[in-house]
Amino acid sequence: MSGMWVANGLSQDLPLGVVMAGAWQGAELAIWRSASGRLSAWNDRCPHRGMRLSHGFVRGETLSCIYHGWAYGTDGACSKIPAHPAMVPPAAIKAEVYQCVEAEGVIWVAPAGSDVDLPDLSGLAAVRSVTVQAGLAEVAHALPGFVCEGAVWRGQLDGAAVALVVQDRGALVRIHALGTGDRVKVSRWLDGMMRLAEQGVLA
Ligand code: FES
């Protein structure tokens, strides 16, 4: 089965025991890291009554829903229903699980069973994620000299390689930046690029 990988953030921004909201194309996701470091990405809907799991909380190796406290293990299966503490939850109560991996400091998500390769970002170090209040066209316009390879824009800054992993969220674009050069320099350059793209929206 094919289904492209979508970058959803940098590893450095998702510490142990934290859940965050993410997306795979139009699907909203809850992406979380267990206490032991295991990363999971699920459809952002609790199988009970549909509360966002990204509003929940991590305890050890489980993610609990904020509404009625149903807890789900890293395989997505419900492991505990607080209102019925003696009950073993039926196996059918399970979050919809996506594939979720980390490579070169980037968190990637794809539907279960996807067999597409990840982009090659070897040799690059994660710098910073930014949210640009603009569309992909304005972002592309603010990146002269950069070459688009699928979800990755590659270019140079003062002779050092820069790769921008782009996550298209419709009215805005998330950019996860990596590079081989000075992180502060890349970060400042990102600020300028964002301004340029956002001005393009206003022009
Ligand atoms: S909606 Fe999640 S536990 Fe009830």
CATH of the domain at 177: 3.30.310.80
pTM, two decimal places: 0.93
Domain boundary among 111, 142, 173: 111
Amino acid occupying residue 87? M
64 and 34 in a single domain? The answer is yes
Give me the domain span that covers residue 106. Answer: 6-111
The atom of ligand 1 lying closest to the CA of 68 is: 3
State the distance from the centre of ligand 1 to the C-alpha of 13, rounded, in angstroms: 26
The atom of ligand 1 lying closest to the CA of 46 is: 2
Question: Which residues sit with their C-beta closer than 6 Å to ligand 1?
Answer: 46, 48-49, 51, 65, 67-68, 70
Q: How confident is the model at residue 203 (pLDDT cuts 50, 70, 90)?
A: low
* Atom 4 in ligand 1: residue holding the nearest Cα: 68
What pLDDT, on a 0 to 100 scale, did the predictor assign at position 92? 97
Q: How confident is the model at residue 2 (pLDDT cuts 50, 70, 90)?
A: low
State the distance from the centre of ligand 1 to the C-alpha of 14, rounded, in angstroms: 24
Domain boundary among 50, 78, 111: 111
CA dist 2 and 73 (Å) reads 26
CA dist 97 and 38 (Å) reads 14
Half-sphere exposure of 118 (CA within 13 A, CB side): 18
Which position has the higher pLDDT, 35 or 199?
Answer: 35
45 and 85 in a single domain? The answer is yes
State the distance from the centre of ligand 1 to the C-alpha of 19, rounded, in angstroms: 16
What are the φ and ψ backbone dihedral angles of 133, each rounded to 5 degrees?
A: -85, 70
What pLDDT, on a 0 to 100 scale, did the predictor assign at position 167? 94
- 110-157 per-position pLDDT tens digit: 999 888 899 999 999 999 999 999 999 999 999 999 999 999 999 999
Strand order in the sheet with 125-132: 125-132, 173-179, 160-168, 152-157, 147-149
Closest residue by Cα to residue 130 from 27, 30, 7, 19: 7
Q: Does residue 120 form part of some domain?
A: no
87 and 24 in a single domain? The answer is yes
Q: Dihedral angle at the C-alpha atoms of 120, 132, 127, 143, nearest 10 degrees?
A: 60
Where do the H-state alpha helices sit in 49-180? 136-141
17 and 95 in a single domain? The answer is yes
Is residue 65 within 8 Å of residue 48, measured between CB atoms? Answer: yes
What pLDDT, on a 0 to 100 scale, did the predictor assign at position 103? 95
State the distance from the centre of ligand 1 to the C-alpha of 107, rounded, in angstroms: 26
The atom of ligand 1 lying closest to the CA of 56 is: 2
31 and 93 in a single domain? The answer is yes
* Atom 3 in ligand 1: residue holding the nearest Cα: 68
State the distance from the centre of ligand 1 to the C-alpha of 66, rounded, in angstroms: 7
Task: Please give, one letter per residue, the 3-state secondary structure of 19-49.
Answer: EEEEEECCEEEEEEECCCCCEEEEECCCCCC
13 and 97 in a single domain? The answer is yes
- 37-95 per-position pLDDT tens digit: 999 999 999 999 999 999 999 999 999 999 999 999 999 999 999 999 999 999 999 99
pLDDT surpasses 70 at 1: no
